[in-house]
Amino acid sequence: MGDHTLGFFTGLQIGSLWHHNHGYDLLDKPRRAKFTAGLKSVAAEKHENPRLEVITSSPVFKKAGLDADMDQQSWAEWFKCAKLLNRELGRDATVDRVHKLYLPVFFWLKKQIREAKATRDGTMIVGLSCPQGGGKTTITNFLVKMFAAEGITCAIASTDDFYLTYDKQRELAETYASNPLLEFRGNPGTMDVDLMCNTVSALAHCGPGDEINIPRYNKSAYKGRGDRVPEEDWPTVKGPVDLVILEGWCMGFQPVENPSTSDIAEVNEFLKDFAKVYDLLDVMLVVEIADPEYVYDWRKQAEDTMKAKGKAGMTSAQLKDFVDRFMPAYKEYLPGLYGNGVSTELPQLNIKIDSNRIPID
């Protein structure tokens, strides 16, 4: 899978804990008073205010079912969060990104948290599925930032960090020598599922004073073949944690009854074990793409960015070979994820994006 892009969070690593320890208001008192006054008749102005119309008619807002929840206070919170995002995004702050994507997802998750707390206590575990390059790490980082502003602690883990050690991956490749899908890290079968489940469960149940180590994976080790970082170098999360987000390119994939090829059939068997991760989830976010071929262009964009920074990158042939190893799984499992979801009992929000990562109907 592609390297993590951490955006504006200098020094943030996957598995880090974010916690906002001091409250602040993004609007000073005079501006807040003026802003609040302007929202008093927001319901009546809904069809006259272009900005609100743009927001409420957007695909993610509608799919999230937020319209009934948006009272005066909610809209005030919405635009307060927008100010935070605009500041962090700078020139990249667009209506599409801020109001049509990040904020609808954030408010949907807040709704899920409220509904869950009405029936039980404890940590909520969110699964996030998104193809490589689709922006899952960026979305996750912004969610963490917004939750932190409300005093909600989040722990983030990626399926990438649970890849097998270099030696275990070599053993797997030798065992399935004729299967290119299991030759290198990436597909189900190349991850330590027990370690993943144990880590996520530990994060969800850690209390005050508890410390949980989050595995890390070094993709540049062994000339790019990769290896797990030594345990003594894993980052530590201190409990308690309010929200755990587990993100990955194949999150939500479910085994199929009749695999299309012998290679994907072997991956399918490993996926049966990987699927036990879903028993831990409370909510599922799915970033949906119209065409898996987008991944080739997105991966090239990432490589071009690295090369522009003076870092080594893949050649065109290497890039194609890299993505080719994921494409069979995309084509085999995405239709089921998009059409049926992970589980009928698991709340799921699908966010469909185009090749420019803009939400669409």
Query: Taking residues 270-298, what's their average pLDDT?
Result: 96
* Amino acid identity for residue 253 in this structure: F
pLDDT given at position 191: 98
> What is the bridge-based pairing of β-strands 211-213 and 124-129?
unpaired
Dihedral angle, C-alpha 14, 139, 204, 193, nearest 10 °: -60
- Answer whether 322's CB lies under 8 Å from 259's CB: no
pLDDT tens for each residue of 139-155: 999 999 999 999 999 99
At 74, the pLDDT band (50, 70, 90 cuts) reads: very high
* Amino acid identity for residue 79 in this structure: F
28 pLDDT higher than 90: no
Please state, for a pLDDT cut of 90, what percent of the chain lies above it. 68
Residue 98 lies in a domain: no
- Answer whether 151's CB lies under 8 Å from 23's CB: yes
pLDDT tens for each residue of 202-258: 999 999 999 999 999 998 888 888 999 999 999 999 999 999 999 999 999 999 999
Of 64, 70, 65, residue with least CA distance to 49: 70
278 pLDDT higher than 70: yes
What sign does the dihedral 281-286-292-294 (CA atoms) show? negative
- Answer whether 99's CB lies under 8 Å from 82's CB: yes
pLDDT given at position 52: 87
Structure tokens at 45: 């102005």
Spell out where the chain has E strands.
Answer: 17-18, 124-129, 154-158, 211-213, 217-218, 227-228, 236-238, 243-248, 283-289, 348-353
Residue 49 lies in a domain: no
193 pLDDT higher than 90: yes
List all residues 6 or more positions away from 315 whose beta carbon is below 8 Å from its beta carbon.
none
pLDDT tens for each residue of 107-139: 999 999 999 888 888 899 999 999 999 998 889
| Strand arrangement of the beta sheet that strand 348-353 belongs to | 17-18, 154-158, 243-248, 124-129, 283-289, 348-353
pLDDT given at position 121: 83
pLDDT given at position 315: 83
> What is the bridge-based pairing of β-strands 348-353 and 236-238?
unpaired
Dihedral angle, C-alpha 172, 176, 179, 184, nearest 10 °: 10
The more confidently predicted of residues 43 and 201 is 201
313 pLDDT higher than 80: no
Residue 291 lies in a domain: yes
pLDDT given at position 75: 93
Q: What distance in Å separates the CA atoms of residue 31 and residue 21, rounded to the nearest whole number?
A: 24
279 pLDDT higher than 80: yes
Residue 116 exposed, middle or buried by CB count within 10 Å (0-12, 13-18, 19+): middle
Residue with tokens 């970082």: 229
Query: Taking residues 187-215, what's their average pLDDT?
Result: 97
Residue 66 lies in a domain: no
pLDDT given at position 6: 29
Residue 136 lies in a domain: yes
pLDDT given at position 320: 92
Please state, for a pLDDT cut of 70, what percent of the chain lies above it. 86
Residue 58 lies in a domain: no
The range of the structural domain enclosing residue 203 comes to: 17-22+105-353
Q: What's the structural domain count of the chain?
A: 1
Query: Taking residues 81-99, what's their average pLDDT?
Result: 90
Query: Taking residues 42-65, what's their average pLDDT?
Result: 70
CATH number at residue 318: 3.40.50.300
Work out the mean pLDDT of the chain and round it to a whole number. Answer: 86
Query: Taking residues 270-289, what's their average pLDDT?
Result: 96
Residue 345 lies in a domain: yes
pLDDT given at position 223: 81
At 81, the pLDDT band (50, 70, 90 cuts) reads: very high
Residue 358 lies in a domain: no
Interhelix angle 262-274/327-340, rounded to 10 degrees, is 50
pLDDT given at position 103: 95
Q: What distance in Å separates the CA atoms of residue 155 and residue 241, rounded to the nearest whole number?
A: 7
- Give phi and psi for 197, each to the nearest 5: -65, -45
SS3 helix, strand, coil % of the chain, rounded to 5?
A: 50, 10, 35
Q: What distance in Å separates the CA atoms of residue 244 and residue 155, rounded to the nearest whole number?
A: 5
Q: What distance in Å separates the CA atoms of residue 153 and residue 150, rounded to the nearest whole number?
A: 9
pLDDT given at position 46: 35
Question: Would you put residue 164 in left (φ > 0), alpha (ψ -120 to 50) or beta?
Answer: beta
pLDDT given at position 250: 97
Of 327, 340, 332, 326, residue with least CA distance to 284: 340
